[in-house]
Amino acid sequence: MKILVACEESQAVTIEMRRLGHEAYSCDIEPCSGGHPEWHLQVDALELLKMKWDMILAFPPCTHLAVSGARYFEQKRKDGRQQAAIDFFMRFANADCPKIAIENPVGIMSSVWRKPDQIIQPWQFGHGETKKTCLWLKGIPLLVPTNIVDGREQRIWKMPPSEDRAKNRAKTFPGIARAMAEQWAGDIREGSQCEK
């Protein structure tokens, strides 16, 4: 499949999709940090929605949408930042593609648009941490937990201030990235069915 992984500079999901034999591309306005610039499109992701994709996995910025920043919502509504973030998110939701997944933390999209299809946690995929992550899905199944582990640390939430704090907090856990690839795309090198 030809897969766009939008707003992903870490390339965590893209690398897993490539491992299974798919033509996957990460996309972000930032350079990639995953080590594969040949698979990275450093452009506005909305430009790529004009192209034909078999699957779109989108990780739109949550800065103006997540409940963790609720104390700033009034100002963000007044100056238009929140509406711009909502509009950006909805461009992925309304994209012309048969298979779409949009990832975001718990935030206002549950009330502005609709409740997510699923909320997952890192500890369901091999990482002993908590970080509620919402998934809005079209044409693909719910993720099935692959490795439920003990430990409910809030390491991500407790990260100290730093220049890269937002970027580090946004990175997809490897166990979740692998589950997304294996469960939503399948391994085409082994002749697996891509359709679920």
101-151 pLDDT, tens digit each: 999 999 999 999 999 999 999 999 999 988 899 999 999 999 999 999 987
Asked if residue 141 is part of any domain, the answer here is yes
Q: What is the mean pLDDT of residues 33-62?
A: 97
E-assigned strand segments in the chain: 2-6, 23-27, 40-41, 55-58, 100-105, 118-120, 133-138
Asked, for residue 78, whether it belongs to a domain, the answer is: yes
According to DSSP, the β-strands at 55-58 and 133-138 are unpaired
3-state DSSP call for residue 18?
Answer: helix
Query: pLDDT tens digits for 64-86?
Result: 999 888 888 899 999 999 999 99
Does residue 128 lie in a domain region? Answer: no
pLDDT digits (tens, 9 = 90+) for 110-123: 999 999 999 999 99
Report if residue 102 sits inside a domain: yes
Is 70 exceeded by the pLDDT of residue 193?
A: no
Confirm whether 47 is domain-assigned: yes
Q: Please state the φ and ψ torsions of residue 65, each to the nearest 5 degrees.
A: -120, -30
Average pLDDT, the chain: 89
Cα 110 to Cα 21, 28, 96, 172: the distances in Å are 34, 24, 22, 21
Q: Please report whether residue 85 resides in a domain.
A: yes
- Residue 105 sits in which domain range? 2-120+134-146+173-190
**Residue 77 forms part of a structural domain:** yes
Provide the number of structural domains found in the chain: 1
The CATH number assigned to the domain holding 114 equals 3.40.50.150
